[in-house]
């Protein structure tokens, strides 16, 4: 059973897009949480949840199990997934 992955993202953010593409390439399942598509209480709740992991409120904020990765950092994602770093 692999660890749950959540990606707090913006639909317009290039780093978020690249991070999601990379997770797709890794063949892992994840839940994207697009805050710019949300309004009202749903957005407030998602932002509060994200701030607990990344007080800077920057995107993407990626949760892989208990590991928090701020920004699209390929090596950190691979490490959190327990994979060997790929050649970049």
Partner 1 sequence: MTPEQLCETLRKIQEPKGYFFNKDKEMVLELMASLLANKERHGYMVCPCRLASGDRDQDKDIICPCVYREPDVKEYGSCYCGLYVSQDWNEERIPHEYVPERRAPA
Give whichever of 2 and 51 is closer to partner 1, judged by the CB atom. 51
- Positions in the binding site for partner 1 (CB under 8 A): 10, 12-17, 35-36, 47, 51, 55-59, 70-71, 73
Report CA Rg, the chain.
13
- Give the number of residues written for the chain: 88
CB of 9 to partner 1, least distance (A): 10
Give whichever of 16 and 80 is closer to partner 1, judged by the CB atom. 16
Give, as one character, the DSSP assignment of residue 62: E
| Token pair recorded at residue 50 | 């994200």
Give whichever of 2 and 58 is closer to partner 1, judged by the CB atom. 58
Question: Contacts for 27-30 with beta carbons within 8 Å, 24 or more apart?
Answer: 28/2, 28/81, 29/2, 29/5, 30/5, 30/6
CB of 74 to partner 1, least distance (A): 11
CB of 3 to partner 1, least distance (A): 23
């Amino acid at each position: 059973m692999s660890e749950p992955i959540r990606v707090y993202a913006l639909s317009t953010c290039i780093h978020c897009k690249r991070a999601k593409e990379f997770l797709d390439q890794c063949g892992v399942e994840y839940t994207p949480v697009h805050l710019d598509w949300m309004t009202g209480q749903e957005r407030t709740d998602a932002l509060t949840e994200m701030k607990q992991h990344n007080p800077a409120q920057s995107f993407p904020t990626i949760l892989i199990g208990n590991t928090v990765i701020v920004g699209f950092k390929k090596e950190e994602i691979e490490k959190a997934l327990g994979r060997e770093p790929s050649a970049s």
